[in-house]
Structure formats: C-alpha cells, structure tokens
Structure 1
Amino acid sequence: MIDLHAAVEAVLPGVRADLERLVRIPSVAFPGFDHSHVRDSADAVAELLRGAGMPDVRIVSTTAPDGTPGQPAVIARKPAPEGAPTVLLYAHHDVQPAGDLTAWEQDDPFQVVERNGRLYGRGVADDKAGVMAHIAAVRAWGEDLPVGLTIFVEGEEEYGSASLEKLIEEYRDELAADVIVIADSGNWDIGHPALTTSLRGIVNAYVEVRTSTHAVHSGMFGGTVPDALTILCRLLASLHDDNGDVAIPGLVSTEASPLDYPEERLRTEAGMLDGVEFIGTGRIVERMWTKPTATVLGIDAPGAQESANALQPYARAKVSVRIAPGEKDMDAYAALKAHLESQNAWGAQVTVSLDQGGNPCVIDATGPSYDAARDAFAEAWDGVRPVDIGVGGSIPFIATFQELFPNAAVLVTGVEDPDARAHGPNESLHLGEFARVCLAEALLLRNLVK
C-alpha cells in the first residue's frame, strides 16, 4: 500500500507552484470583467488534470435559464476499479473581484505573496486551493487510484452559478457518484478540522424608490416633497429591530450545533473596532448559521462629494438576505418584498425585484462515508477529530446535488480557516492547513474502499 503521508509531502511543492500560477489568472465571472480569463483558467485546470493522469478531460458549458451563456467548467473522469465506489470531487475556478485595491497589502491581488506561513492573493483560498487539493490527491495516488474519480470544476460559483443546475442535469450520468466531496467551505480553526453539515440559503433583491419625474431644489421644495433617497434609507432601516435582529416577518430560524464561539475570537476574526457591539440576540453560532440576516450590499445614489442640493427622484439599493435551513428562497423573497412594500409610509413608487435566490441545505452526516471522512481528517490532523459545523454562507447547488443524486453521501469540506478572508481584501491560505487538507483527501479515497 502506498505511503500517502510521504506521497502527499512529495507532491506539495509542485502543487503550490501550480496554485500560484492559477491565482495569476484573474478569473472573475462577474459582468463587466474580461471573461477570456475565465476561459484561460478552465484551460489551465484542464491541463493540470491531464497532467495528473486523468484520462478523460473535457471543458463544457451550457446556458442559464435566461439564455445567457454560462462560463466554462471542467469535467475529468477515471473509471472505478471493479467493485470500488465512484467519488465526485467538486471545486470552482472562478474568483471574486479584487475589490478595493488600496485595502490590499500587496500591489497586485492576482500575484501570490507569502507572509508568516500564509499565501495571499485573490482566489488563493476560495477556491483555487480547493481545485489544487483535488489535484494533490490524484498526484499522490498516481496510477493506483483505489476509486473511480470524477473531478468537476465549475467557473461561475462566485456569480451565483446561474447555469450550473442545467449543466448538472445535462451531464448527470457523467457526474453520478456514490460520494460527492464539495471543497468550498472551511474548518473550525487552525489545527481543528470540520465537516460542514448546514448552510444558509440566499435571496438577493433590488429595491427601487421613485418619487418624482426629476430632481428639484432641496430648499424650495424640501419639507413638502419627499425625496427617494430618504425613503430608501427608511426602508432599509426597517430590516432590523433595535437589537439588530432581522425584522422581516415570517422568516424561519432554527437551532445550531452546541459549539461555543467565543466573542473575543469572533471580534478578532472579524476585525471589529473597539466599541463596536454585536448585533442580534441568541447564541453566536445561531446568529451566524441558523438565523436569517439582512445586509445592504450597495446603494445607487449621488456620491457625497459630488452631490447637489436637490431632492433625489430615484434611488436604488441591493439587499441580501441569508435564510436559515428549513426556509425556501422564494418564500423568503415574498416575505422581503411584502415587508419593504409595507414600510412605504409616504406613497412613493417602491419596486422590489429578485436578483438571485438559492435554497439552504442540511446534511445528515451519518453513515460509512462520513465515518471514512472523519477518520481521514483525524489522521491528517494528528488525532484531532473533526467537528460538525454550520456555515452562514450559501452554496445553493448542494441542494441540487442532493435532489439529483439522493443516494450519494455529500461531504462539504474546504481549505479556509477563520482568517482566510475570502471575498475580502488580503484573502489568504494557511500553508500548514492546506497540506493537511491535501493529505485528508488522499486518505479519504483510501478509506472509502476499506
């Protein structure tokens, strides 16, 4: 039997070098960005999979329900030895936009910088390290893979995976597996692995306010004519009560795991300033994992510096609601829409429109495949057994996998730790944890055939 500890250690230098090359491709799938980089990223992933010995590698795509072309995904397959299970390994190769460049502690977010045992760069953790963890496991096993393997790396997860459900349906037979590993989550802490067993869903919506056909002088008309921006502010303020709990009637809340999340740890990980208080009520893990949230993502209105002394006739905001396990995304959208429309006290024209929705999920993490994963994690983390955690973020397509492959065990894992800062400036990857993730995945493939 192959010495997986030694094999993974041997491939890690090459895995890191290839990870850095992937990060240098700015594969942002959002509108307004150069999508040729997403295609370049798919090409690079496909080439890495071929080089790792996967015999059947294809780049595929389809269209979203509205007819918009989807971004390229990569499917690589190797058939199972007789009697062995087939494992599907998922990750995504697209990344978030870099955001505020001045907030990065390096000149170019798409170059990798090492500091204090961490690699910094956009996408280095979310989720190009997930891609490379899969490749590390394949390289470590070489020609001796004990299971059938399908590797599925999509290219638009950060922008909502609009075409993914259709893509999975079109390639359902090729993606069918006994075990599905989703490498797009994180661990409980550095040195303490986790399996993610619940994720919140998401509803993003736009709220538009119109009050008049044109802007008018704020001195001459102020005090009688309402302005759209003030009304929008009132609507947005109504999303929370005085405690900071979401005030949208009808949304679901559920109980979370018994894990304790210390307040000081949370303050440090979130970078909260002195004097800033937490919002909401209840246990921290419930507020973060199993209760709804409402966030104002952005506002379309005149900027403060260039604004005129005028009553604005139009304003718009984008609102994101994370919904608890047990909620349905369209039910939550209907509740958000009804709430905002009910708060319009001054008769403005208020329009609420859906941007995207995605359902939450709960995973029953019991059975032989989960036991195999927990044993693999414990071995990779020197005897520290994983805990089951929830995640406040959303991966709606997990519910799609559960629906289309109801007999498959779905394992949600990942490379991130609490200081990875995914989606924000200075995203980073802890090199020691990354090595353990790569080892754990190689060990999992072994354990699944024990």
Structure 2
Amino acid sequence: MKICVIGSGYVGLVAGTCFAESGNTVICVDVNQEKIEGLKQGILPIYEPGLKELVLRNSAEGRLSFTTDLASAVKESLICFIAVGTPPGEDGSADLQHVLAVAREIGRNMEGFKIIVDKSTVPVGTADKVRRAAQEELDRRGAAYEFDVVSNPEFLKEGAAIDDFMKPDRVVIGADNVRTAEIMKELYSPFMRKTNRLIVMDVHSAEMTKYAANAMLATRISFMNQIANLCERMGADVSAVREGIGSDSRIGYDFLFPGVGYGGSCFPKDVKALIKTAEECEYDFVLLKSVEEVNERQKAILIDKMIAHFSRDNGASPLAGKTIAIWGLSFKPRTDDMREAPSIVIISKLLEMGATVLAHDPEAVKEAKKIFGDRITYTSTNQYEILKGADALAIITEWNEYRNPDFERISASLTAPVIFDGRNLYNPRRMKEIGFTYHSIGRNGSAFTG
C-alpha cells in the first residue's frame, strides 16, 4: 500500500519504518527541514535500538522516503497517518492544534478517497474534529472526495518499539466504516501471521482505550510506590511483597517495580489529559488525581533520603557543598528521552540546594544538556569517571550497565561508600556486607534476596 506518515518523531518514524519493512511504500513527512535532511542521510532524531538499521535498509531499497512536501505525499497515498505531537496545555488538556492543522492540509490536497488515521494519542472526540477540519477544506474547494477517519492508537514501549510494532500485543482499530476497517486489517496483516491480535471497535472506544491503558499502568506504578514507602516505615521488604502479590495471576508482575516515579512522553501527559477529559464531562476522577500526586511526590524521594543522610554532617543545609554523582538521566533505559524524567526533578533540587552534580547516561547526555546546560558535568562513556571525589552515587535509571558494577572501584572513588538507589538494583544485605551505606526504595535494609 501507499502510505504517508505526517510527523517524523518517535511514533511516526517507528510506524513509517515498520510499515516499509513489511513491503509498503511509505513517505515520512515533517515540517522540520533539518530533521528531514538528516533522515535522508541516515541521521535519526531519536535513539531507539534497531531503528537506524531499518531506516537505512528501507531507504536504500526505495520503500521509505522523507520529505517536507505534505501536499505531494497526501496525493500519492491512500492512507495518511497523523503522528504529530499533542503536548499538554497549561490545564492538562491535549493540544490538538498540530493534529487539526494536518487534517486541514489533507483536506486541501486530497484527490480521491483517503483514509485519515489518528496515530497520535488524542482525546475522545478528536476523530470527529479531524473529520470536520478536513471536510471544511473540501467544502471550501467545492470538492466532493470521500474520506474516512480512523483511530489507531500506538502502544509502543520506548526501548522496545520495533518489537512492539512488529510483534504487537494488540492492534486497536477504531473505524465506523466496514470497508475502511478491512483495508486497515489488510495493512496490519503481516504483523498478525502467528496470532490475530487486531481488535476492531468504534472510533470513540479506540480513542478511550489508549488513555485507559496508560492510566491503568501509571496507577500500578503509583500504587506500588506507595506500598514501598509504607514498607520502609513498617520494616517490610517491597521486593518480597512484589513477589507475593505478583504471583497472583489476577495481578501479575508487570509495572510493579517501585522507584522514583514514572516519566516519559505518555504516562504523565495521558493521565493529565484523561483527568481533564473527565472534568469536561463534569466527572471528578479522584483516583487518577491521586496517581498524579503520588508520582510527583515520588520523584523527590531520593532527595529526602539524601537530606536525612547528610543532615548528620551539614545541619541546616545538608546538601550545600556536596558532590553527587548521578547514574541515569533518561526516564527509562534504552532511550534518550528526557521528557518528564525523574532525573530532572532530582537534579534541579540538588542544584537548588547547593550541590554539585556529575552525571552519566549512555544515550541521554545530549538531551540533558538542553535542560541543564553547563550547570552540571556530563559523560556518556566511562560511568566511573564521575565518581572521583563525589560524596555519594545516586542511581536514577536502570540501564544494564549499572546492574553489576565494580563495587570496589565505586568505593575507592567516592569520598565515602554511599549509594542512593532509586531503582533497587542491588541486594541490601550484600551492600552492607561490602561496606556500603545503601539507601533503596521500600526495603529498609532488609535481608530479602529474592
């Protein structure tokens, strides 16, 4: 099939590339000329494992191309995916200006039947607005071309997006037209060869499904973080609790790891947007408001632990003059995404309290520099470099490189063997045995080794 994907960010680039990999002819469109020129040269605007290789191969084989010319891309394509950003407004609602601007451009340029697909995460009712925006442009032209609007939300995990797209848990298609639904089934059929996981529903339900899924996962994370905080106070071990409740088949183990809160481009934005959607319907979504509040508090939990630890030495300004080494800047491993990352809150608070920050991350240094500039010191190569002379190490992102480090080297580099572990990577009993003062989340020095 001939497809255009409008918006060459994370969602658009992954979707366009994977569709090309399954044999379709795909044009990726973006208004950013620099980004498009980079993509033509194989320079990707994001880091995602395996994506660059697919972009290079499909570009070389002529199935994948990049342009700023939206008009020609629309004219050449049967299916037009809208994958532009929907950033939260000041009130938490999703900003649809870019989505609707693209819909109008499609209406101005379509010449024949088109399927317009909302791939961006959008509130319930957006497909109706997209339809109206495109139809208004057709009416203005005096054209009578038929088109349909589909909701096809993405369910990609950053760091595993290629596998998620090529071997999906499910593909949700929201379509109110049987013919259009069949075309979308055909498009996704290469990804359904082992098991058909394609679910067709009405458009409004598909739009709600995306928000509901992310809100549920965010709720599990915030719930487990509250359990972890309670475990510390009660002398329980959250790792043991997680094993105990996760073994229940009704609950399972996923998204039950306590830590310093969730971040990224989806959970924070979608929770806010669903709360706002509920308010517009005059419904008070109390549970989600609490999920958001818990997450914001959790991002500061390592700071609280540092203040408690260093107040023994430094009285009223416990972190002033201290040097803290940070491992992990991105909101999760295997990505360079810093959006809503807990590291931003933690580092900002450290700087505010007079500490010096040295940071390592395998991929996110470039993004971090956009936020902190020269206020902190960075490295993306040797994770041990930043430890020399630091008063403590804080672990914020669970990159594999941090899971089994050289503890002797860490101890020798720090002024004192102190670790604040925001991801519970190490065994508390072992850390105590090798001489570390070790602060983790919800374990309180427990000897549990599961």
TM-score, L = length of structure 2: 0.23
Q: Which has the higher contact order (CA 8 A, sep 6+)?
A: 1
Please state which structure has a larger fraction of its residues in helix: 2
Please state which structure has a larger fraction of its residues in strand: 1
